[in-house]
Amino acid sequence: MNRSIILAAGQGKRMKTDLPKVMCEVLGIPMLRWVITACEQSGLDDICVVTGFEHEQIESYLSGKYPTVFQSQRLGTGHAVMQAEDFLKKDPDGNVLILCGDAPFIDKETITEALKLHTDENNSVTVITAVLENPAGYGRIIRSENGIAGNVEQKDCTAEQLKIREVNSGAYWFKVRDLLEVLFEIKPDNAQAEYYLPDCIGLLIEKGKRADAFISENNSVVLGANDRKGLLALNDIARKTVIEKHLENGVEFICTDGIIIEPSVEIECGAAVLPGTILKGSTKISKGAVIGPNSLISDTFVGENTVLNSVQAYQSKIGSGCKIGPFVHIRPSSEILDGVHLGNFVEIKNSVVGKGSSVSHLTYVGDSDVGKNVNFGCGVVTVNYDGTKKSRTVIKDNAFIGCNTNLVAPVTIGEAAYTAAGSTITKNVPDGALAIERSTQVNRENYAKRKLGRHIKKGENIK
């Protein structure tokens, strides 16, 4: 069987973070998760992760789904693999893919094509490599007549070897039995006094085994990040790659400034994404929708032809043909049905807003079940929290909530009922009724005229 080991002991001191380096995020996803996803997509789900710095964080992130082994001292990539000896010995007949947890762009095609070369050529080790314009910093691959002779780290290279542009990505396929035969023979006799995993290549060749390299078409498989600048560069690459995929699928972008789309997001052909839009998690955007400018949509479904302009939405479902924004906040567990209009400074939380309803301005709808074709005036508040518990507000179909109404939950507004502007409603309103809760207006004739008339005559300002 084929399995994988992911090396993830690095601290990433230069990232200046308390996180293990592999937990630093590219497009909102830890680098380690990118690598695991590439394994899973390649059909490898027997994975062992070698941890070191802040290992508890990685263990809790993996929540037992994948085993980890702890490398107490960071003595090199070869030493890291030695920690996984028991994992390797469990199935010595198969192949093992060794990956760096901080090189997130390893991909399924590279993994599976490299495995094909590995098995077709009956190699003991197949190094995944790339040919770079600027190979600085990477291990250089020494080619032989029949495959490769080895890898030389940058710090151990001669001037001539530094010119080699084929580099080691840090990813390898090994025959497990052969790897175990040489792994513990590696010596830290090099410029960095580390146990170098690629030293296994020379040791295997000495034993008459075959080693070769698979050149990936995807140069970015070698890329990792050592500092924040490097991480930003990875984010830029990932961001562009994701946007290009959506462009190919027929999503419209007129300008990609400030657009960040996590790889898990689905967007249908014919939707448009405008500048300043961030789409996260399990968000799905349907055809004809226009998202942005300046919107953050997370784990939310957006129906066909819906417009979200300057909207923040989280863990919610928004129907088709809705017109939402600007400046609308849709908080978790909300369901906005088809044809709803939500206008400026409206907040919806844990509520259903029925078909065709309209909440146009300055309104809070929380813990509410709103029917269809309900109209909210300006400044309505569902008073859902009494300081100890939350209660629900029910508003039935075709109701009309007057401006500046407080609906003190639990309370029900009946079908096609009205509330008068400025009312604080604490009792249920029957179907078809008008509820007024405010004192009767008294007009004192000529009061103001008497008081202010003098000033008005003189043309003075009234203070």
Pair 49, 8: CB distance under 8 Å: yes
Beta carbon of residue 194, minimum distance to Ca ion (angstroms, whole number) = 12
**34 interacts with ligand UD1 by CB under 6 A:** no
Which residue from 386, 352, 385, 382 is spatially nearest to 369, judged by alpha carbons? 352
Residue ranges in 223-262 that form contacts with ligand UD1 under rule CB under 6 A = 224
Question: 76 is in the binding site of which of ligand UD1, Ca ion, none (Cβ under 5 to 8 A by kind)?
Answer: ligand UD1
Beta carbon of residue 74, minimum distance to ligand UD1 (angstroms, whole number) = 4
Beta carbon of residue 319, minimum distance to Ca ion (angstroms, whole number) = 47
Residue whose CB is less far from Ca ion, 9 or 340: 9
Residue whose CB is less far from ligand UD1, 12 or 325: 12
Which residue from 155, 156, 131 is spatially nearest to 143, judged by alpha carbons? 131
- 104-135 b/e (C-beta count within 10 Å ≥ 16 → b): bbbbeebbebbbebbeeeebbbbbbbbeeeeb
For residues 170 and 150, what is the distance between their CA atoms, to the nearest angstrom?
13
Of 77-85, 240-248, 264-272, 304-312, which part binds ligand UD1 (CB under 6 A)?
77-85
Question: 273 is in the binding site of which of Ca ion, ligand UD1, none (Cβ under 5 to 8 A by kind)?
Answer: none
Pair 131, 140: CB distance under 8 Å: no
Q: Report, in angstroms and rounded to the nearest whole number, the Rg of the chain calculated over CA atoms.
A: 32
Among all residues, whose Cβ is closest to Ca ion? 224
Residue ranges in 131-170 that form contacts with ligand UD1 under rule CB under 6 A = 138-139, 151, 153, 167-170
Which residue ranges make up the site for Ca ion (CB under 5 A)? 224
Pair 164, 135: CB distance under 8 Å: yes
Question: 366 is in the binding site of which of ligand UD1, Ca ion, none (Cβ under 5 to 8 A by kind)?
Answer: none
Among 77, 300, 398, 423, binds ligand UD1 (CB under 6 A): 77
User: Amino acid identity of 294?
Assistant: N
Which residue from 230, 260, 231, 258 is spatially nearest to 243, judged by alpha carbons? 260
For residues 167 and 154, what is the distance between their CA atoms, to the nearest angstrom?
10
For residues 343 and 362, what is the distance between their CA atoms, to the nearest angstrom?
8
Query: What tokens appear for 320 in the block?
Result: 């088709």
Pair 382, 364: CB distance under 8 Å: yes
The count of residues interacting with ligand UD1 (CB under 6 A) is 30
Beta carbon of residue 44, minimum distance to ligand UD1 (angstroms, whole number) = 17
Site pattern 4..23 for ligand UD1 (x: CB under 6 A): ---xxxx-------------
Question: 101 is in the binding site of which of Ca ion, ligand UD1, none (Cβ under 5 to 8 A by kind)?
Answer: ligand UD1
Check residue 463 and report its DSSP letter.
-
Is 341 one of the catalytic residues?
no
Residue ranges in 175-234 that form contacts with ligand UD1 under rule CB under 6 A = 196-198, 222, 224
Beta carbon of residue 188, minimum distance to Ca ion (angstroms, whole number) = 18
List 118, 329, 361, 455, catalytic entry: 361
Residue ranges in 342-371 that form contacts with ligand UD1 under rule CB under 6 A = none
Question: 414 is in the binding site of which of ligand UD1, Ca ion, none (Cβ under 5 to 8 A by kind)?
Answer: none
Beta carbon of residue 55, minimum distance to Ca ion (angstroms, whole number) = 19
Site pattern 97..126 for ligand UD1 (x: CB under 6 A): ---xxxx-----------------------
For residues 423 and 404, what is the distance between their CA atoms, to the nearest angstrom?
7
For residues 51 and 414, what is the distance between their CA atoms, to the nearest angstrom?
60
Beta carbon of residue 278, minimum distance to ligand UD1 (angstroms, whole number) = 28
Check residue 157 and report its DSSP letter.
-
For residues 336 and 338, what is the distance between their CA atoms, to the nearest angstrom?
7
Q: Is 102 exposed, middle or buried (0-12, 13-18, 19+ CB in 10 A)?
A: buried
Q: Is 288 exposed, middle or buried (0-12, 13-18, 19+ CB in 10 A)?
A: middle
Residue whose CB is less far from Ca ion, 53 or 314: 53
Residue whose CB is less far from ligand UD1, 27 or 50: 50
Residues of this chain that interact with ligand UD1 (CB under 6 A) are 7-10, 50, 52, 71, 74-77, 79-80, 100-103, 138-139, 151, 153, 167-170, 196-198, 222, 224
Positions annotated as catalytic residues are 361
